[in-house]
Amino acid sequence: MAKLDPLIHAPARLQVLTTLSAVSEAEFATLRAVLEVSDSVLSKHVSALADAGYVRSRKGVRAGRRTTWIGLTSAGREALHEHVAALRRLIDGVD
């Protein structure tokens, strides 16, 4: 039975995982622009999610600049599905 995941219960982290589910990898700057957050905020959330094994990050180069690419892991995808299912069940239960 799906349960709420406290690690991704924060709206910003839920947005990070949901956005990453649309792509295989996203550049840090692209993700920051889509989520409309600051570098430090996104970096903090990505670090927390990476520590839990929900996302992976690697260094890369884009247009001659060193960049960070972030992707959703299979564990992160599964955790996201369970969390979203729990949220929807909660909504259905209250409604």
Binding site for another protein (CB under 8 A): 11, 14-15, 17-19, 21-27, 29-30, 34-35, 62-63, 69, 84, 87-88, 90-91, 93-95
Residue 15, exposed/middle/buried by CB under 10 A (0-12, 13-18, 19+)?
middle
44 or 71, CB closer to another protein? 71
Q: Which two tokens stand for residue 45?
A: 């959330």
Q: Shortest distance, CB of residue 87 to another protein, whole angstroms?
A: 4
**Smallest distance, another protein to C-beta of residue 52, A:** 18
What is the spatial distance between Cα 10 and Cα 80, in angstroms, rounded to a whole number?
Answer: 12
Residue 20 makes CB contacts below 8 A (sequence gap 6+) with 26, 31, 55, 70, 71, 72, 76
Nearest approach in angstroms of CB 26 to another protein is 5
Cβ nearer to another protein, comparing 18 with 43: 18
